[in-house]
């Protein structure tokens, strides 16, 4: 399985980097082999004491010369590739703001029309073949955005704004994760990029723009009330309800996501119940407080309500 491999490329930039890697690798391999052969020969000669110093200066000088030429070639190749990475047509780019938090990703789809903006977390859907301009910011510490199938990493630094433009040319699901050590749950700060055909993407985005569906039955209604009046709404938001906390992932279409806790566990009712009642059992140190005090039916109602937020 190659879930996060830098050679399983899906975008032009990752592809250029992979090409550069193979060129560099080939040259390095040859140099490595040459040094080993030379060392081996030297040991063989030296052991017998038959190595003559004749021409040794010339040999050393030419080896240094060849090394220099190879290095200069690699510098040129590297700089050229670096230039190429920046040359991606971003004229009609989809603009998304990505904000790093300990330990989740806040994903805000931008649009000139405020009513078309929406927010999700940890999972980014993008249209295939269209450039995406990510604006990267951090709320607390330094994080690093990295989806190897698409592009190299870029740091999210508090107090600074960075942009990363990329494009997926193949539909698929691409995993990434935070690459800059950000504290106790750095290991569990994954994200997913879903590259969807343009139409599918539009349908998905349209769905995300809608407010959350109202509760459909009694338990869901109870869950809704608990959410809105209890501890949840202090940090979480659900569009279309009074819950508008901005400190934790927006849960408007929570049920459309595949994982809980930034890729920590799959999003199913059982895992969700565990997560709500005792998140520290799954991801110790997370800022979500434990809700062991919830009664069993209350927990079930919350799970049912959140499960309805397609």
Partner 1 sequence: MNPLLERTWRDTGFFSAINHKTIALRYIVTSFAFFVAAGILAALMRLQLAVPENDFIGPDLYNQLFTVHGTAMMFLFAVPVMEAMGVYLVPLMVGARSIAFPRMNAFSYWVFLFGGVMLFGVLALNIGPDTGWFSYPPLAGPEHSPGKRVDFYAQLITFTELAALLVAIEIIATAFKMRAPGMTLARMPLFVWAMVVTSFMILFAMPAVMFASTALIADRLVGTHFYNPAEGGDAVLWQHLFWFFGHPEVYLIFIPALGFMSSIIPTFARRPIFGYPAMVLALIATAFLGFGLWVHHMFAAHLPELGKSFFTAASMLIAIPTAIQIFCWIATLWTGRIVFRTPLLFVLAFFFILVAGGLTGIMVASVPLDLQLHDTYFVVAHLHYVLIGGAVFPLFGAWYYWFPKFTGRMMSERLGQWQFWIAFIGFEVAFFPMHTLGMDGMTRRIHTYPEAMGWGAANFISTVGALMIAASGVLFIVNVVRSYRRGAPAGDNPWGADTLEWATSSPPPSYNFDRIPVLGSEGVVVTGLAEKSREVLITTVVDAMPDHRLAFPNPTIWPFLSAVAVTVMFIGSIFTPWAVVWGSIPIVVGVTLWFWPRKDETREHLALEKRP
Partner 2 sequence: MFSLAFLLGGCEREQRQFKLPAPESASPAPERTRHEENAHSVAQGKLWFRWFNCVGCHSLGGGGMGPALMDENWRYGREPQSIYETIMNGRPNGMPSFRGRITEDQAWQLVAYVRSMSGLIAQDVAPGRHDGLSAVPPENLRDKR
Q: Which residue has 């399983």 as its token pair?
A: 8
Residue 280's binding partner out of partner 2, partner 1, none, with CB under 5 to 8 Å set by partner kind: partner 2
Across the strands, what pairs with 54? none
14 lies in the site for partner 1, by CB under 8 A = yes
Choice from 26, 43, 198, 203 touching partner 1 (CB under 8 A): 43
Beta strands (DSSP E) in 128-261 are 132-138, 143-145, 154-156, 162-166, 172-177, 190-196, 259-260
Q: Can you give the binding site for partner 2, defined by CB under 8 A? A: 140, 158, 184, 229-231, 233-235, 247, 278, 280-281, 284-287, 289-291, 293
Burial tier of 214 (Cβ tally within 10 Å: 0-12, 13-18, 19+): exposed
Residue 42's binding partner out of partner 1, partner 2, none, with CB under 5 to 8 Å set by partner kind: partner 1
Site string for partner 1, 264-293 (x = CB under 8 A): --------------------xx--------
Query: Looking at 68-76, 88-96, 209-217, 235-243, which segment touches partner 1 (CB under 8 A)?
Result: 68-76
Residue 151's binding partner out of partner 2, partner 1, none, with CB under 5 to 8 Å set by partner kind: partner 1
Name the residue nearer to partner 2 (CB basis): 24 or 287.
Answer: 287
Burial tier of 30 (Cβ tally within 10 Å: 0-12, 13-18, 19+): exposed
Residue 233 · residue 245 · CB < 8 Å? yes
183 lies in the site for partner 1, by CB under 8 A = yes
Choice from 96, 120, 125, 154 touching partner 1 (CB under 8 A): 154
Q: Find the shortest distance in angstroms from Cβ 276 to partner 2.
A: 12
What six digits make up the tokens of 281?
Answer: 């059992």
Site for partner 1 (CB under 8 A): how many residues?
82
36 lies in the site for partner 1, by CB under 8 A = yes
Name the residue nearer to partner 1 (CB basis): 90 or 162.
Answer: 162
User: Strand 172-177 to strand 190-196: parallel, antiparallel, or no bridges (unpaired)?
Assistant: antiparallel
CA dist., res. 218 & res. 195, Å (int) = 37
CA dist., res. 237 & res. 269, Å (int) = 20
98 lies in the site for partner 1, by CB under 8 A = no
What six digits make up the tokens of 75?
Answer: 């510098």
Residue 193's binding partner out of partner 1, partner 2, none, with CB under 5 to 8 Å set by partner kind: none
**Which of 265, 273, 286, 110 has its CA nearest to residue 184?**
286
Cα dihedral: 165, 207, 251, 272 (round 10):
-110
Residue 171's binding partner out of partner 2, partner 1, none, with CB under 5 to 8 Å set by partner kind: none
Name the residue nearer to partner 2 (CB basis): 102 or 167.
Answer: 102
Choice from 170, 181, 214, 216 touching partner 1 (CB under 8 A): 181
């Amino acid at each position: 399985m190659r879930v996060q491999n830098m050679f399983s490329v899906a975008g032009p930039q990752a592809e250029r980097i992979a090409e550069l890697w193979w060129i560099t690798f080939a040259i390095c391999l040859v140099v490595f082999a040459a040094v080993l052969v030379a060392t081996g020969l030297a040991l063989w000669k030296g052991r017998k004491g038959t190595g003559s110093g004749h021409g040794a200066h010339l040999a050393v000088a030419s080896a240094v010369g060849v090394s220099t030429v190879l290095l200069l070639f690699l510098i040129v190749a590297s700089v050229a590739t670096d230039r190429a990475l920046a040359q991606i047509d971003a004229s009609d780019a989809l603009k998304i703001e990505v904000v790093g938090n300990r330990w989740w990703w806040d994903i805000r789809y931008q649009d000139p029309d405020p009513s078309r903006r929406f927010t999700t977390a940890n999972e980014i859907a993008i249209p295939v073949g269209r450039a995406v301009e990510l604006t990267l910011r951090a709320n607390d510490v330094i994080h690093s955005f990295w989806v190897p199938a698409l592009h190299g990493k870029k740091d999210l630094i508090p107090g600074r704004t960075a942009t990363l433009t990329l494009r997926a040319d193949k539909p698929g699901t691409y995993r990434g994760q935070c690459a800059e050590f950000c504290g106790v749950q750095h290991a569990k700060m994954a994200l997913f990029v879903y590259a969807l055909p343009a139409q599918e993407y539009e349908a998905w985005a349209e769905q995300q723009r809608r407010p959350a569906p109202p509760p459909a039955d009694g338990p869901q209604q109870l869950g809704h009330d608990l959410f809105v009046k209890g501890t949840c709404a202090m940090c979480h938001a659900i569009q279309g309800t009074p819950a508008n906390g901005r400190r934790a992932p927006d849960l408007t279409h929570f049920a459309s996501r595949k994982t809980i806790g930034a890729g920590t566990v799959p999003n199913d009712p059982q895992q969700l119940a565990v997560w709500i009642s005792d998140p520290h059992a799954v991801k110790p140190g997370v800022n979500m407080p434990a809700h062991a005090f919830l009664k069993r039916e209350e927990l079930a109602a919350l799970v049912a309500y959140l499960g309805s937020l397609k």
